[in-house]
Chains A and B, each alone.
Chain A
Amino acid sequence: MKDTEILDLYWERDERAISETQRSYGNYCYSIAFHILHAKEDSEECVNDTWLKAWKAIPPNRPNHLSLFLGAITRNLSFDRWKHKNALKRGNGEMEAALEELEECVPAARSTEDVVEELELKRCLNHFLETLKESDRNVFLRRYWYAEEYSEIAKRYDMKLNTVKTTLFRIRGKLKEYLEEEGVVL
């Protein structure tokens, strides 16, 4: 079923919307959740919560890209669950590795400067992404939006593993520099 047809079901408050969404995007959302949580049960719960949230959000929303809309919900739910479960506890998994790498981008603390609001940070990140080449941007998002493993990214884009690592290393350096220039304090 096409996205527009699924969206019509949501707007008609037809419960088949959920089963059709599950059919079309179940694997996609599960993949996003699992990359963050690395736990089958938690991932499945997040995916189910995604359908519920989507049901509540559509209408009034009518997303242009249903997959991205659902993916973003899943990512947020999974990330919230990850934070709740881990509460800074160290463990295995790509989330820890991805976060450790992102630590490199955090500018040095600067006394009592104002904390940048989340919207401003998002604006900065979008602006930074705009400056990247598309291929670099995709690799960055695959790692830090989808929390994919290096090897998955290498396979996806037909790159050498080391090239993926080097590319991300370079981008993290640029991001740190950019955030410092923008005066972002995290």
Chain B
Amino acid sequence: MSEKQNYKQDGAIRLFGALSGVDEKYLAACENEKKQSGVVVFMHKYGKAMAAVLCLAVLGAGYMAMQTGVKYNDCATSEAPQAVAGAGAERNEAKDMEAAASDAPEADSMEESVLENAEQLQDGTSSEHSVQTSATVEMTLTEARALNVVGQYVPSDWPVGGEVSQVLGLGTANAESVTLFWTYNETKDGFFINIDNLGEELPVWVTEEISENYIVDKEDFTKEYVESQMKSSSEGSEADAHTGRFGILYEDASGYVLVRFNGSGNVDEIWELMN
């Protein structure tokens, strides 16, 4: 064994030994977490899904109300469907994911993912996705890149064998967002990338997603992380196709920007794209 290797191993042994001096409170917390009651475990596992279902119901009710009664100042009548694309885009995202989930082998976990994502969208609506205050417009990739703040996070190295099928921008006075849908030519599968300018304060759902490892800081974003978030897709599809979701949190002078991926793709290509 080399001297360097010995040094490393001695260091590791010292570290392991030193960990015996860990404060009891941490070990106690570690032990206690295991002893959560059944109700707590149930709420921890399914509480979000339950909340998401409620939120979707509320969102759906609001959407229906808009379709029937609310006029849009920015749009002529013929453009009304597009005017509600802000809500529609969110609903479509959820629908797309629901469809993907029902086809995927791990439908349960995907369904959970859908519900969680729907919840994120719902939580986010309080500012950047507000049905009442936002105006969503379809735009080109070039226009998306020109958007203030979020534009600089629009990827440039897209995978081959497909195309950016739709770009939806969502802007309000305080925040903006853009969602880019990418579709493979052959399979019609794909993914979407959502870029949100979160401003200076992180919404609660983002901190929750961070704690659950669905979102990481830019400095923690690695290919290994992408691999860990992307599950192998159903049998019969391409061997290297994976499905999953994750987000990268950037912090710059204007505040936080969150770039989220959701859908299917080749891990190497996704890593290149998101990196």
User: Which residues of chain A in 18-71 are interfacial with respect to chain B, using CB atoms and an 8 Å cutoff?
Assistant: 64-65, 67-68, 71
Residues of chain A within 8 A (CB-CB) of B19 are 125, 141, 144-145
Residues of chain A within 8 A (CB-CB) of B222 are 169
Cβ-defined contact, B228 with A64, below 8 A: no
Residues of chain B within 8 A (CB-CB) of A169 are 222, 224
Min CB distance B244 to A, Å, is: 10
Q: How many A-B residue pairs have CB under 8 A?
A: 119
Cβ-defined contact, B228 with A158, below 8 A: no
Min CB distance B94 to A, Å, is: 22
Residues of chain B within 8 A (CB-CB) of A88 are 1, 6, 9
Cβ-defined contact, B18 with A121, below 8 A: yes
Number of residues on chain A facing chain B (CB within 8 A) = 49
The segment from B23-31, B134-142, B170-178 that touches chain A is: B23-31
Cβ-defined contact, B228 with A166, below 8 A: yes
Cβ-defined contact, B213 with A166, below 8 A: yes
Number of residues on chain B facing chain A (CB within 8 A) = 39
Q: Mark B12-38, 1 if CB is under 8 A from A, else 0.
A: 111111111111101111110110000
A102 to B1, CA, bound (A): 17
Residues of chain A within 8 A (CB-CB) of B8 are 103, 106
Cβ-defined contact, B9 with A99, below 8 A: yes
- Going nearest first, the 4 A-B pairs with the smallest beta carbon separation are A122-B21, A106-B11, A186-B11, A162-B228
Q: Which residues of B contact A (CB under 8 A)?
A: 1, 6-24, 26-31, 33-34, 45, 211, 213, 216, 220, 222, 224-225, 227-229
